[in-house]
Amino acid sequence: MKPIGIIHTPFTSLEDMPIQPKGAGEELGTIEIEKQYTAGLADLDEFSHVYLLYQFHMAKRTALEVVPFMDTNKRGIYATRSPLRPNHIGLSIVRLTDIKENIITVRGIDVLDGTPIFDIKPYIAAFDSVAESSSGWMQASEKEVAAKRSDHRFVG
Amino acid sequence: MKPIGIIHTPFTSLEDMPIQPKGAGEELGTIEIEKQYTAGLADLDEFSHVYLLYQFHMAKRTALEVVPFMDTNKRGIYATRSPLRPNHIGLSIVRLTDIKENIITVRGIDVLDGTPIFDIKPYIAAFDSVAESSSGWMQASEKEVAAKRSDHRFVG
């Protein structure tokens, strides 16, 4: 498993970063894919949304219980999206706006500048749409998620 | 990056396997998480759906262009969910039915028996729901996806 590229975003510090794409609103980021993989991006530009699988590269440790950004109680790490999971893989769904050769531009990006990326997958409604779901402890609205900002609790 | 457990499913051969959770219908699978991570599963049982991030362990090679199961044309690998991507990570959304200690039971599982798993994340509608999307070349209906079965094109 090795990075296929790097994500560039306006967020150079964890302080005041959006915690999810829905908090990142109109923020643009670019994903610079290594040129050897450019051919793999063919046909991707016709999808509106993509999954990004990336490395939480600032998380150097693991914790099996954490207090998530949107909660005040400790939760099992696998019931959260915290970076401190045993494998430091992050998942975000972002809007695709443009692809030029090996550079992908996306909107609503919630990761730190310089984040290594492992994979990009098309969001396919026929595979991925979930009509009804329940979100356990996570009862915040999209508006509350959008307003929330990161801090340093999951670093180092 | 190392597996945190193993997925057990009824699918011991790629032949005739569903290609996506929506094709797996009511099939049950269990995820056996290593006991050292059991504490990380706390609170997960209150979520209805989870993301599974796993290894396409039968895919030994990479191809930057493939003909996807639901298509007859070659597409860039990143515009598909094919296993032959440079990092062989798979992503599925499944229904959670039960957790007992380190054993998670899920419904609608579309992976091969013995698949190594890297991560589990809660599906959180406030983060993940996509109201409107376009799926490029993938124009098949959920019903067509559900009827489609795998073959050996992405093995070895």
B59 part of a folded domain: yes
CATH of the domain at A127: 2.40.30.70
pLDDT digits 0-9 by tens, B76-90: 999 999 999 999 999
Query: What whole-number distance in Å separates Cα of residue A138 and Cα of residue A111?
Result: 20
Rounded to the nearest integer, the mean pLDDT of chain B is: 91
Query: What whole-number distance in Å separates Cα of residue A76 and Cα of residue A85?
Result: 10
The pLDDT of residue A25 is: 74
A121 part of a folded domain: yes
Question: pLDDT band for position A147 (50/70/90)?
Answer: confident
Query: What whole-number distance in Å separates Cα of residue A106 and Cα of residue A146?
Result: 17
pLDDT cut 70: percent of chain B above it: 99
The whole-number average pLDDT for the span B15-32 is 82
Q: Residue A133: which of B43, B53, B123 has the nearest Cβ?
A: B123
Helix (H, G, I), strand (E, B) or coil at A14: coil
Residue A14 touches chain B, beta carbons under 8 Å: no
B33 part of a folded domain: yes
The pLDDT of residue A18 is: 80
pLDDT digits 0-9 by tens, B145-155: 788 888 777 87
A153 part of a folded domain: no
The pLDDT of residue B13 is: 83
The pLDDT of residue A145 is: 80
Mutate to test the interface with B, among A124, A138, A142, A145 (most CBs of B within 10 A): A124
pLDDT digits 0-9 by tens, A46-85: 999 999 999 999 999 999 999 988 888 999 999 999 999 9
Question: pLDDT band for position B27 (50/70/90)?
Answer: confident
Quick one: how far is CA A13 from the chain centroid? Answer: 15
User: Bridge partners of B149?
Assistant: B18
What's the sign of the alpha-carbon dihedral A114, A119, A125, A130? negative
Tell me whether 0.85 is exceeded by the ipTM. Answer: yes
**Which chain B residues touch A37 with a CB distance below 8 Å?**
64, 78, 86
A110 part of a folded domain: yes
Helix (H) or strand (E) holding A22: helix A21-24
The whole-number average pLDDT for the span A116-142 is 89
Residue B41 touches chain A, beta carbons under 8 Å: yes
A155 part of a folded domain: no
The pLDDT of residue B118 is: 98
Query: What whole-number distance in Å separates Cα of residue A92 and Cα of residue A125?
Result: 15
Q: Which residue has the higher pLDDT, A141 or A109?
A: A109
Count of domains forming chain A: 1
Question: pLDDT band for position A150 (50/70/90)?
Answer: confident
The pLDDT of residue A95 is: 95
In chain B, DSSP finds a helix count (H) and a strand count (E) of: 3, 8
Question: pLDDT band for position B19 (50/70/90)?
Answer: confident
Helix (H) or strand (E) holding B142: helix B142-147
Cβ atoms of B42 and A75 closer than 8 Å: yes
Enclosing domain of residue B107: 5-147
Residue A97 predicted with pLDDT over 90: yes
A11 part of a folded domain: yes
Q: Which residue has the higher pLDDT, A34 or A141?
A: A34
Q: Residue B126: which of A22, A45, A75 has the nearest Cβ?
A: A22
Residue A101 touches chain B, beta carbons under 8 Å: no
pLDDT digits 0-9 by tens, A18-46: 877 777 778 899 999 999 999 999 999 99
What residue ranges in chain B does DSSP mark as E strands? 5-8, 28-33, 49-55, 65-66, 75-76, 89-100, 103-107, 115-122
Cβ atoms of B41 and A86 closer than 8 Å: no
Residue A72 touches chain B, beta carbons under 8 Å: no
